């Protein structure tokens, strides 16, 4: 079953074609990565999925419903969760409060149920010990985990992640990979991951979509993408195919 279906998405900023006729689908429970150089249109495409950016043409379907003109909140209620490339947590609020803000948007039962559900996610994410700490006192790695917890607070069907590993050290990346795997298993989540950490992408993604200058230049399984000449020359680098072990 297709959970997310983007058809012929185009978006221009003045003279700049940020996206040109991009098609992308995600099946229920599937893990899809979007890769490509800086400025390729990856974040713009994610923003089209969430409704932050309205495309000039094309359509976005969520679980079969056309949501192209729907506001972000409505899409979140319909099963979308996301994090931002530049995290947007509230520094003075606690971990619990931040996750509750995420949960507050979903069709929920009121304050008590909301708190319970937030606490459950915090526990699952291994953040229970710091639930009452203010965000501004946390390490960068912990903050990013809180963003992830907040993004899944509404129990989404598809989770959109914009460079979640940026700025993390290798131990934190390993934690992130572990938590993501756990979340997927527990919630049968589909994931769309934008990421420059190729180790992480190749390990997690079942399918990879490659953007370059706003166009999709390749799509396929990790092994195909790593051997694709157009991808090597646009993004991964000619040495990549040979350097791999």
Ligand X SMILES: Nc1ncnc2c1ncn2[C@@H]1O[C@H](COP(=O)(O)OP(=O)(O)O)[C@@H](O)[C@H]1O
State the residues that interact with Mg ion by CB under 5 A: 42-43, 85
18 in contact with ligand X (CB under 6 A): yes
C-beta of 44 vs 226, nearer to Mg ion = 44
Asked if 206 and 219 touch (Cβ cutoff 8 Å), the reply is: no
Query: For residues 99 and 128, what is the distance between their CA atoms, to the nearest angstrom?
Result: 12
Q: Least distance (Å) from ligand X to the CB of residue 85?
A: 7
Going by C-alpha positions, the residue among 149, 245, 143, 234 that lies closest to residue 202 is 245
The CB-of-44 to ligand X minimum distance in angstroms stands at: 3
Residue facing Mg ion at closest CB distance? 43
Site size toward ligand X (CB under 6 A) is 11
Task: Determine the Cα–Cα distance for residues 13 and 11; give it in Å rounded to an integer.
Answer: 7
Q: ∠ CA 51-56-58 to the nearest 5 degrees?
A: 75
Q: Which is nearer to ligand X, 17 or 134 (CB)?
A: 17
Q: Which tokens hold the place of 79? A: 């099963």
Nearer to ligand X, 36 or 164 (CB): 36
Minimum separation from the CB atom of position 167 to ligand X (A): 15
State the minimum distance, in angstroms, from the CB of residue 164 to Mg ion.
Answer: 12
Measured in Å, how far apart are the chain's first and last C-alpha atoms?
35
- Please identify, using beta-carbon distances, which residue of 161 and 204 lies nearer to Mg ion: 161
- What string of DSSP letters covers 94-159? BHHHHHHHHHHTSS---HHHHHHHHHHHHHHTT-GGGTTSBGGGS-HHHHHHHHHHHHTTT--SEE
Taking the C-alpha atoms of residue 159 and residue 177, their distance in angstroms, rounded to an integer, is 14
Residues 32-71, mask of contacts with ligand X (x by CB under 6 A)? ----x-xxxxxxx---------------------------
Q: Which is nearer to ligand X, 127 or 236 (CB)?
A: 236
Site map for ligand X, 183-222, x if CB under 6 A?
Answer: ----------------------------------------
Residue ranges binding ligand X (CB under 6 A) = 13, 16, 18, 36, 38-44
């Amino acid at each position: 079953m297709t959970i997310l279906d983007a058809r012929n998405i185009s978006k221009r900023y003045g003279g700049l074609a940020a996206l040109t006729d991009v098609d992308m689908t995600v099946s229920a429970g599937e893990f899809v990565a979007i890769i490509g150089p800086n400025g390729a249109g990856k974040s713009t495409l994610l923003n089209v999925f969430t409704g932050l950016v309205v495309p000039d043409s094309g359509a976005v379907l969520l679980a079969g419903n056309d949501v192209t003109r729907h506001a972000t909140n409505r899409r979140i209620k319909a099963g979308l969760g996301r994090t931002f490339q530049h995290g947007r947590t509230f520094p003075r609020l606690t971990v619990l409060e931040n996750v509750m803000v995420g949960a507050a948007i979903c069709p929920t039962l009121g304050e008590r149920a909301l708190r319970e559900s937030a606490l459950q996610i915090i526990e699952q994410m291994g953040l229970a010990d710091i639930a009452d700490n203010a965000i501004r006192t946390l390490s960068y790695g912990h903050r990013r985990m809180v963003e992830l917890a907040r993004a899944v607070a509404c129990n989404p069907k598809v989770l959109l992640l914009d460079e979640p590993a940026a700025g993390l050290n290798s131990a934190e990346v390993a934690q992130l990979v572990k938590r993501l795997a756990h979340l997927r298993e527990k919630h049968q989540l589909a994931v769309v991951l934008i990421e420059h950490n190729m180790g992480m992408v190749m390990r997690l993604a079942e399918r990879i979509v490659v953007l370059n200058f706003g166009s999709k230049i390749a799509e396929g399984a990790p092994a195909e993408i790593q051997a694709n000449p157009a991808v090597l020359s646009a993004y991964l680098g000619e040495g990549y195919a040979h350097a791999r072990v």
